[in-house]
Structure 1
Amino acid sequence: MGELRFVVQLHRARRLHYDFRIEVGGVLVSWAVPKGPSLDPKVRRAAFHVDDHPLEYVAFEGVIPAGTYGGGDVIVWDTGAWVPYKDPDPRAALERGELHIELHGQKLRGKFVIVRTRGDEWLLMHKRDEHAVDGWDPAAFPRSVLSGRSSDEVKADPHWQWRSELPADRAAVPVRGAVSDEELAALDGLGEAGTWEVFGRRLRVTNLSKVLFPGRGGEPAVTKRELLRYTSAIACTVVPYLAGRALNLHRFPGGSDTKGFWQKALPGRAPDWLPRWREPSSGTEYLVAGEPAALVWAANFGGLEWHPWTSPTDRPDLPSYALVDLDPGPGTAWADLLVLARLHRTAFEHLGVAAYPKVSGRRGIQIWVPVRPGPSFAETRAWVEELSRSIGAVVPDLVSFAWERAGREGRARLDFTQNAVNKTLVAPYSPRPAPGAPVSAPIAWDELDDPALRPDGFTIRTIGERLAERGELFAGVLSNPQRLPPLS
């Protein structure tokens, strides 16, 4: 049996508790654990079996309306993959009243056992293994692993509402996926500069009429005011990809017609409410954009490109994604790059690996593969390199590799070197400094067959309509961690 998903949601309904849910037979088998799971093998937690939940609930974070079952706020306290051990049939083990599981989450790791005592009452315990931690208290880790937000922050500004009367695939309804009309009107009412209240923060914004990007195809130029409008509209969608991660800002303080530079340190420029993280080995301080207003602040600061680390700040040595970068070389035809992307699509389908493509907003295609915590950067880099070599062997005349620094004329570059600490790919929906302000846009795999697809075809003026029509195509990277299978 392959890996299955689990989630622990911190849920404040009539009383605070942790909902412990594991995927079994196409549903989430669930228990309410009042004091929460622990890594301390001496601790036995009471767990009360509750109704199964649909698989679509595995990534839900938001509010359940008052007056309905479970009404209250919910955060994704932990999530990841699990595998059974001792008994390969988890459903039969549950019916017998004793299930042994191994969790691969961001907070919970190692072997657990859940045992029925009577009726719907169970006990949840961690086994004595290499992941056991004496005295480990879940209350010491209160924030969401998806958004980095606390329960209070989600309650104050929920992005999603769960409507149980709707079909499960439509039950998560956006509450506030964008900035309010009143906040946008306030921005429009400012002159060249002023104080803008947005997402509960007061931001000093400047140079609002400054042209950042020339127009495209006869359209007017894009000003800083329009960039702030876009950033505030997309921020709630982007922040889950940034939360809990150091953010490298590619700044263009003179506009996109000047050379940008990486801004890692933030010496005295950021407001006090904006979280920082200090990298242990270098002491460099980074912005951590855990709330929408932080991204708006960064855009006003000249951060026109957003590059989150591929590892979280609590374990910067362990990547969350394996990255595939299909980078056109000098003279590479777009049609040839699409051939390579389709070969990757076939490879991932054959391997049973969930991977999520996006156009770069410039010339290339990037693919993110969510991985469970555990592999090192060296291991993800080696895996992507082996994949690249296998695909390159099919079409050797189309590719060059990362070790060929200059690339070869007319050949695409398969770059696995981004799988390293502080190596990044641009975030989904980030603007790129080019005419029309194109964005790095998630795509569905079948769009690789669309002759109209272009790497810079979606802009800050068109991506909102696409999101409304196609939905959030990249969301699976946040809730589908997996083990990278062997390639040979």
Structure 2
Amino acid sequence: MADALILTSQDAEGHPREVRLSSPDKIVWPSTDQGRAITKADLAAYLQAVAEPMLGGLADRPVTLQRVRGGIEGEEFYSKNPPKGVPAWSRTTEVTYPSGRRHPQLVVDDEATLLWTAQMGTVTWHPWPVRSGDNDRPDEVRIDLDPQPGRAFADVVEAALGLREVMLAAGLTPFVKTTGSRGVHVFAPVRPRLEFLEVRHAVIGLARELEREMPDLVTTAWWKEERGERIFVDFNQATRDRTLAAAWSPRILPGAPVSVPVTWEQLAEVRPAELTVHTVPAWLGEHGDAWADLHAAPAEIDGAHALWEADLERGLGELNFPPDHPKMPGEPPRVQPSKKVAEHWDEQGRRVEPEVRRRRGAD
């Protein structure tokens, strides 16, 4: 087994850089029926093969690193703080988290930094939907279509095509990619004018509009017990500190599937499980990058935000935030509907303490 492998690459300014890859023969993805095991060196070779389009979605953005120790069957963890030993040619950018806490995150601008993150055990790269010059105003609308058990990929495709029409009607230009799992990610470039909360509201507007048009297929229900077999339109992927796997990024799943940009025409034809670290370089060579022009013509988000405003007039308000976020104004109770006791909550969704309930009973 080789002790180390020296990779020759370039930084963002085109300067040659060397990246030391220790234990290149270490297995990251064990072998499966779909292909042989994938080593650390194999992953590095894959990243070099897809670096140009992959950096199109990573560069100039804060990136959260999904890392492993001992391959994907070992310990998994997320790095938001830059790992120790960041190369001198790399950079960071400071971001604000939902708690108000601020700290730097790594920016992956170049192939050399990308390879270095692989040396540090990264298997999936999660870029924020913002640019480093303004980390509070997203330049991408991102929606995750998450199928519940019982739904086939063809159902997800149907929902994605419906979402495409809703987004087009709102003045957006949607792009689509496989997730590397069972769902689909739909992105749209927007001018970075609104802050995270306002963008999230615009996404909720789009999600509710799709739910009205396809009520038997999709849902905005936050609680799994209310979703049934419908496809969840995950509006919370537009929330601060929520990220999706980068385009061309492998996933921490058996067989090393990859999240691959496709055209809308290709979506119904692809088989996501066949798009892996083994096969994607050849697939890219044959089909090219469907997201090469993702940010060529960013749109205004006003049409989507108007859907949110219209729902407010209909009496529809805020939806649940992720559990690690502070409680937000107007947010529904953070308790499963099946466990909710009506008398324990007021009309604004705030929990009523026991002594208050006793006084109400005495009245």
SS of residue paired to 2:188: strand
Query: Unaligned regions of 5+ residues in structure 2, if any?
Result: 11-15, 311-363
Residue pair 1:328, 1:413 contacting (<8 A) in 2 also: yes
Q: Describe the superposition over 1:395-431 as per-residue Cα deviations: whole angstroms up to 9, x where unpaired.
A: 2222232522555332211111111222111110001
Give, in angstroms, the shift of residue 352 of structure 1.
4.6
- How is 1:385-396 mapped onto 2 (pairs within 5 angstroms)? 385-396=204-215
* Match of residue 365, structure 1, among 184, 187, 191: 184
Partner of 1:465: 282
Partner of 1:251: 67
Say whether 1:204 aligns with 2:15: no
Give, in angstroms, the shift of residue 306 of structure 1.
0.5
Say whether 1:375 aligns with 2:191: no
SS of residue paired to 1:418: helix
Residue pair 2:80, 2:105 contacting (<8 A) in 1 also: yes
Residues in 2 aligned to 1:324 and 1:414: alpha-carbon distance in whole angstroms? 7
SS of residue paired to 1:298: helix
Residue pair 2:21, 2:41 contacting (<8 A) in 1 also: no
Give, in angstroms, the shift of residue 289 of structure 1.
0.7
Residues in 1 aligned to 2:105 and 2:219: alpha-carbon distance in whole angstroms? 34
Residues in 2 aligned to 1:455 and 1:204: alpha-carbon distance in whole angstroms? 32
Query: Unaligned regions of 5+ residues in structure 1, if any?
Result: 1-189
Give, in angstroms, the shift of residue 469 of structure 1.
2.1
* Match of residue 3, structure 2, among 192, 196, 202: 192
Residues in 2 aligned to 1:449 and 1:193: alpha-carbon distance in whole angstroms? 42
- How is 1:43-62 mapped onto 2 (pairs within 5 angstroms)? none
Partner of 1:433: 252
Give, in angstroms, the shift of residue 432 of structure 1.
0.7
Residues in 2 aligned to 1:267 and 1:344: alpha-carbon distance in whole angstroms? 38
Residues in 1 aligned to 2:86 and 2:299: alpha-carbon distance in whole angstroms? 36
- How is 1:87-486 mapped onto 2 (pairs within 5 angstroms)? 191-199=2-10, 200-217=16-33, 219-266=35-82, 268-279=84-95, 281-401=100-220, 403-405=222-224, 408-450=227-269, 453-484=270-301, 485=303, 486=306
Q: State the AA in 1 paired with 2:7.
A: W
Q: Describe the superposition over 1:8-66 as per-residue Cα deviations: whole angstroms up to 9, x where unpaired.
A: xxxxxxxxxxxxxxxxxxxxxxxxxxxxxxxxxxxxxxxxxxxxxxxxxxxxxxxxxxx
Q: State the AA in 2 paired with 1:468.
A: G
Give, in angstroms, the shift of residue 246 of structure 1.
0.8
Residues in 1 aligned to 2:83 and 2:50: alpha-carbon distance in whole angstroms? 27
SS of residue paired to 1:382: helix
With over 3 angstroms needed to count, the CA separation of the structure-2 counterparts of 1:218 and 1:426, relative to structure 1, is: closer
Aligned length: 297
Partner of 1:157: none
- Give the TM-score normalised by the residue count of structure 1: 0.57
Give, in angstroms, the shift of residue 285 of structure 1.
2.5
With over 3 angstroms needed to count, the CA separation of the structure-2 counterparts of 1:472 and 1:448, relative to structure 1, is: closer
Moved over 3 A (4+): 348-352
Considering only aligned residues, what root-mean-square deviation do their CA atoms show, in Å? 2.0
Higher relative contact order (CA 8 A, sep 6+): 2
SS of residue paired to 1:201: strand
With over 3 angstroms needed to count, the CA separation of the structure-2 counterparts of 1:351 and 1:209, relative to structure 1, is: same
With over 3 angstroms needed to count, the CA separation of the structure-2 counterparts of 1:270 and 1:445, relative to structure 1, is: same
Give, in angstroms, the shift of residue 455 of structure 1.
3.2
Q: Describe the superposition over 1:280-320 as per-residue Cα deviations: whole angstroms up to 9, x where unpaired.
A: 65242211111111001111111100011101122111001
Hey, which of these two has a bigger chunk of helix by percent?
2
Q: Describe the superposition over 1:207-251 as per-residue Cα deviations: whole angstroms up to 9, x where unpaired.
A: 111111123435211111100101112112211221221110011
Residue pair 1:323, 1:366 contacting (<8 A) in 2 also: yes
Q: State the AA in 2 paired with 1:270.
A: V
